Structure 1
Amino acid sequence: MSEQKLEKHVAPKTQTVIFITYIVAALEITWMFVQFSITPYLAKRLGFDTIWFGYLQTTVGVIQLLGGPVFGRFADLFGARAALTMSCVASVVYFLLLGVANSVPLLFIHKLPAVFMHILPGAQMVVTDLSEPERRADALAKLGLCFGIGMIVGSSLGGALSTHYGESFAAFVAAGGSLVSTILVQKFIPKHTKIQAGVQSLTDKKAGTGSVFNLSEITRLMKFPGSYQECPKVSFR
Structure 2
Amino acid sequence: MREIVLDTETTGLDPFQGHRLVEIGCIELVNRIPSGQSFHRYLNPERDVPSEAAAIHGLSSEFLKDKPFFTEIVDDLVAFIGDAPLVAHNALFDLAFLNAELERVGKTLVPRDDDLCTRYGIDNSRRTKHGALLDAELLAEVYLELIGARQAQLILVDVGTSAIGAPAGPVPIRVRPTALAVRLTADERDAHLAFVATLGEGAIWCDYLEVRRPGVNA
TM-score band, normalised by shorter chain: under 0.3
Normalising by structure 1, report the TM-score.
Answer: 0.22
Hey, which of these two has a bigger chunk of strand by percent? 2
Structure whose CA Rg is larger:
2
Normalising by structure 2, report the TM-score.
Answer: 0.24
Hey, which of these two has a bigger chunk of helix by percent? 1
Which structure would you say has the larger RCO, counting Cα contacts within 8 Å and 6 or more residues apart?
A: 1
